[in-house]
Amino acid sequence: MPITLSDDTKQELIASIKRYFAEERDEEIGDLGASLMLEFVLKEVGPSVYNQAIKDAQARLQTTVADLDLTLHEPEFGYSAEQRR
């Protein structure tokens, strides 16, 4: 599944890439170059990051589901238990 971003997000990322090149590499990169860099990163790096995020979310959900019985447990037969004391 390809990673898609809103136009606003793409523009913010393009600006960020241009700033990175200017500040960290002392290179000027135009909108086209930054856009191509973003496209490459989304296609090449994005799936690995996405897959790891899915694994992290699954692990978190499994932990949460496993803890449901402890977190949401309600004592049963409260009235009857009091009678037996």
Which residues, 6 or more positions from 2, have their beta carbon under 8 angstroms from its beta carbon? 42, 43
Per-residue b/e over 67-78, b at no fewer than 16 CB within 10 Å?
eeeeeeeeeeee
- What integer pLDDT is reported at residue 81 of this predicted model? 66
Query: pTM to 2 decimals?
Result: 0.72
Residues of the chain short of pLDDT 50, as ranges, are: none
Domain residue ranges of the chain, discontinuous segments joined by +: 7-84
The Cα–Cα gap between 58 and 55 comes to 5
